[in-house]
């Protein structure tokens, strides 16, 4: 229980202090929502939040497609040439320090720019970078779910004359839908949260929310950031609850 | 799926493979290339590796960046400091995480689901903000110091922020779930009858733990340690926000080299050395994580 206290105490305190009327963390000056008001009038935060949400939605969708394909390939196709390298490329981005992913991708984009005059640096490059590591997370979830998925169902459908595409869309994908839902959400929140990789690969045209938060946090504790964090937590809770509901529904459908 | 034609197979494997080759493997090679270049003022701020001087392509590579890293003990101290901090944080995560994972694995039904959910939840909240939350707690006039003073335990505020202590705390705090989840996976797959058998044969609880539980959960321990150690070595946000002048870490050095000094080739060389140092643990991590998949 102490372990959980350690994990959650800072978050709880953050939420409490977002309602503190005083600018100082150390003084409790009564309940107030003034920082939420200040946050909503802060256009810088609003614009960066929109950028972040857009990037996260695109990156998560790309991650879902790539990661699902990768998970299917690794779980169902056994041996194929290059499998060890492929497995490495799928797992390494989960642990390789972000500064390395960020720097290496930036150098790729810069090289591309000088060869082809494309793609510049901005939202597109952030999206590609986020989709790359997001896909790796999705593939782990998809593989784990496929491992527990009854292959006999797929084989039965094939024996009954269903075409592979039909089996994939009617049997396999619905069967692993919990992994698909949580995979998309995980890729979405990871993208929304990433500071380091985005800082490397972005250009002057795109600033994401974590970058704005980071530069304001570097100057010290700011009550507006507390308010923002609290809102962020609420959104995440809602999303996770919604995902849980979707998954429970998918589970019920599968059973009945 | 086995009935999928050659084309289908090619698409399913080839598309993500190509993507990762382009956006993960190729960039690593480019980093090596840039680490051999010289820094210049311009866009991009490094010299080309191959120069055409009329008589054909000439290789224009230098090891000066690596010589700089080897010659300045700032870099060596940063590498060793990162390794040390990450190793201590990994050990602490294991010490704290093992009992937690054990408790979750032994609990039942809804309670178990709820505990697991609570461990996973921090993954879904902003890492940056969770690190930042500690600043308000650890500041000289922050919550912890105020509480300790109010309790009469200390007279003057303790220096809790911007030192080794706060960096260690931040690392353990941020990476603890990465330790607990693989440990839990290992512990929940443990055959309970083996433990009962050991007890029946007269082993004391400690003996059972050391002789049965611990060896059988070694794969989980290894996976958890690597999942904490590797990213912690290159961590940037934690040493930047919670660290001080005496907590040199290589992730921050690389960041400063790139963003403040704008010396891309040296930043690339720092990255190459870091990747080379991480290669063995990375391959080990792949083995343990792959095993987790097939088990």
Q: Give per-residue pLDDT as tens, B95-138.
A: 999 999 999 998 888 888 888 888 887 777 788 888 888 888 88
* Tens digits of residue pLDDT in A55-86: 999 999 999 999 999 999 888 887 788 888 89
Same domain, A142 and A250: no
**Residue B4: inside a domain, yes or no?**
no
Same-domain pairing of A144 and A230: no
Indicate if the pLDDT at residue A88 is higher than 60: yes
Count structural domains, chain A. 2
Q: Torsions phi, psi of B217, nearest 5?
A: -100, 10
ipTM: 0.86
- Asked if A210's CB is within 8 angstroms of B271's CB, the reply is no
* In a shared domain, residues A197 and A225: no
Question: What is the domain count for chain B?
Answer: 1
Q: What is the pLDDT of residue B205?
A: 85
Residues A101, A118, single domain; the answer is: yes
Mean pLDDT along residues B68-97: 92
The mean of the pLDDT values for chain A is 85
User: What is residue B293's predicted lDDT score, i.e. its pLDDT?
Assistant: 52
Do A52 and A165 share a structural domain? yes
Give the bridge partners for B46, in sequence order: B39
**Residues within 8 A of A (CB atoms), B 216-275 only:** 226-227, 230-231, 233-237, 240-241, 251, 254-255, 258-259, 264, 267-268, 271, 274-275
Least confident of B1-15, B25-39, B208-222: B1-15
Mean pLDDT of A83-110: 91
Residue B242 domain-assigned (yes or no) = yes
Range(s) of the domain holding residue B120: 72-294
CATH classification of the domain holding B281: 1.10.3720.10
Provide the pLDDT for residue B245: 80
Residues A143 and A238 in one domain: no
Same domain, A35 and A141: no
A83 lies in the same domain as A110: yes
Residue B11 contacts A, CB cutoff 8 Å? yes
Residue B1 pLDDT > 60: no
How many Å apart are CA A216 and CA B112, to the nearest integer? 39
Same domain, A183 and A253: no
pLDDT band at residue B295 using 50, 70 and 90 as cut-offs: very low
Best interface-test mutation with A: which of B126, B146, B284 has the largest number of A CBs within 10 A? Answer: B126
Q: Which of B16, B44, B234 sits opposite A110 (nearest CB)?
A: B44
Tokens of A246: 């979707």
Q: In terms of domains, do A228 and A216 share one?
A: no
B35 within some domain = no
Best to test chain B binding among A5, A77, A89, A219 (most B CBs inside 10 Å): A89
Q: Model confidence over A122-152: pLDDT tens digits? A: 899 999 999 999 999 999 889 888 887 878 8
Percent share of chain B, pLDDT over 70 = 94
Predicted pLDDT at B4: 59
Three-state secondary structure of chain A? CHHHHHHHHHHHHHHHHCCECCCCCCCCCCECCHHHHHHHHCHHHHHHHHHHHHHHHHHHHHHHHHHHHHHHHHHHCCCCCCHHHHHHHHHHHHHCCHHHHHHHHHHHHHHHHHHHCCCCCCHHHHHHHHHHHHHHHHHHHHHHHHHCCCHHHHHHHHHCCCCHHHHHHHHHHHHCHHHHHHHHHHHHHHHHHCCHHHHHHCCCCCCCHHHHHHHHHCCCCCHHHHHHHHHHHHHHHHHHHHHHHHHHHHHHHHHC
- Give me the helices (H) in B41-191, please: 64-71, 73-106, 109-124, 127-138, 143-150, 164-188
Q: Is residue B239 part of a domain?
A: yes
Asked whether the predicted pLDDT for residue A24 surpasses 80, the reply is no
pLDDT at B230: 93
Residue A13 above 80 pLDDT? Answer: yes
Q: Are residues A117 and A237 in the same domain?
A: no
- Mean predicted confidence (pLDDT) in A34-59: 86
CA-based nearest distance A48→chain B, Å: 15
Residue B269 lies in a domain: yes
List the one residue out of B100, B92, B132 whose CA is nearest residue B118. B100
Cβ separation A105–B121 shorter than 8 A: no
Q: Which residue has the higher pLDDT, B72 or A39?
A: B72
Mean per-residue pLDDT, A109-115: 87
Q: What is the pLDDT of residue B147?
A: 84
Contact A236 B282 (CB under 8 A): no
A95/B142 CB distance under 8 A: no
Q: Which residues of A touch B121 (CB under 8 A)?
A: 240
Give the closest-approach CA distance of B204 to chain A in angstroms. 26
| Nearest-angstrom CA–CA distance, A167 and A163 | 6
Q: Which residues on B lie below 8 Å from A28 (Cβ)?
A: none
Which residues constitute the domain of residue A9? Answer: 1-21+30-41+221-256
> Quick one: pLDDT band at residue A26, thresholds 50, 70, 90?
low
Average pLDDT over chain B, rounded to an integer: 86
Span of A178-182, A193-197, B41-45, B70-74 with lowest mean pLDDT: B41-45
| Model confidence band, residue A255 (pLDDT cutoffs 50, 70, 90) | low
Kindly state the average pLDDT of the residues B255-280.
91
Give the CATH number of the domain where residue A160 resides.
1.10.3720.10
Looking at the structure, tell me whether residues A104 and A216 fall in a common domain.
Answer: yes
b (16+ CB within 10 A) / e for A133-167: bbbbbbbbbbbbbbeebeeeebeebbeeebebeeb
Could you give the CA distance from residue B190 to residue A244 in angstroms, rounded to a whole number? Answer: 27
């Amino acid at each position: 229980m102490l372990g959980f206290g350690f994990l959650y105490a800072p978050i709880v305190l953050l939420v409490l202090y977002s309602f503190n009327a005083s600018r100082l963390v150390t003084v409790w000056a009564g309940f107030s929502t003034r920082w939420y008001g200040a946050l909503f009038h802060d256009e810088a935060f609003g614009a960066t939040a929109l950028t972040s949400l857009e990037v996260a939605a695109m990156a998560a969708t790309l991650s879902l497609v790539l990661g699902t394909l990768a998970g299917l390939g690794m779980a169902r196709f056994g041996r194929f040439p290059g499998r060890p390298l492929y497995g490495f490329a799928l797992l390494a981005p989960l642990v390789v320090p972000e500064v390395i992913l960020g720097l290496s991708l930036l150098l790729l984009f810069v090289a591309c720019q000088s060869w082809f005059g494309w793609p510049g640096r901005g939202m597109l490059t952030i999206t590609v970078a986020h989709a790359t590591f997001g896909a790796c997370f999705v593939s782990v979830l998809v593989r784990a779910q496929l491992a527990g998925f009854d292959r006999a169902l797929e084989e039965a459908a094939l024996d009954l004359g269903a075409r592979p595409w039909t089996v994939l869309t009617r049997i396999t994908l619905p069967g692993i839908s919990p992994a698909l839902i949580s995979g998309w959400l995980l890729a979405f929140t990871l993208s929304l949260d990433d500071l380091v990789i985005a800082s490397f690969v972005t250009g002057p045209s795109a600033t994401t929310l974590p970058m704005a938060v980071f530069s304001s946090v570097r100057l010290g504790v700011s009550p507006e950031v507390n308010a923002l964090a609290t809102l962020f937590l609420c959104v995440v809770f809602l999303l996770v609850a919604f995902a849980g509901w979707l998954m429970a529904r998918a589970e019920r459908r599968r059973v009945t | 799926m086995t009935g999928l034609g050659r084309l289908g197979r090619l698409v399913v494997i080839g598309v993500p493979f190509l993507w990762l080759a382009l956006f993960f493997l190729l960039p690593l090679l480019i980093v090596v290339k840039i680490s051999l270049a010289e820094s210049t003022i311009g866009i991009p701020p490094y010299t080309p590796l191959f120069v055409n001087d009329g008589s054909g392509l000439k290789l224009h590579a230098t090891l000066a960046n690596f010589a700089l890293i080897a010659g300045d003990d700032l870099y060596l101290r940063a590498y060793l400091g990162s390794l040390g901090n990450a190793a201590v944080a990994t050990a602490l995560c294991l010490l704290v995480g093992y009992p937690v994972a054990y408790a979750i694995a032994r609990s039942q039904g809804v309670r178990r689901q709820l505990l697991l959910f609570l461990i996973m939840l921090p993954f879904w909240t902003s890492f940056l903000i969770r690190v930042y939350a500690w600043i308000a707690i650890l500041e000289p006039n922050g919550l912890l110091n105020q509480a300790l003073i109010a309790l009469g335990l200390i007279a003057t505020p303790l220096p809790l922020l911007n030192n080794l202590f706060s960096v260690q705390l931040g690392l353990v705090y941020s990476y603890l779930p990465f330790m607990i989840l693989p440990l839990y996976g290992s512990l929940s797959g443990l055959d309970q009858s083996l433990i009962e058998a050991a007890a029946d044969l007269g082993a004391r609880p400690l003996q059972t733990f050391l002789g049965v539980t611990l060896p059988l959960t070694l794969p989980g321990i290894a996976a958890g340690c690597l999942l904490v150690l590797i990213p912690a070595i290159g961590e940037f946000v934690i040493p930047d926000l919670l660290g001080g002048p005496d907590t040199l870490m290589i992730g921050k050095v690389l960041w400063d080299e790139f963003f403040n000094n704008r010396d891309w080739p040296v930043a690339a060389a720092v990255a190459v050395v870091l990747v080379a140092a991480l290669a063995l643990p990375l391959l080990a991590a792949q083995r343990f994580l792959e095993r987790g998949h097939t088990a």
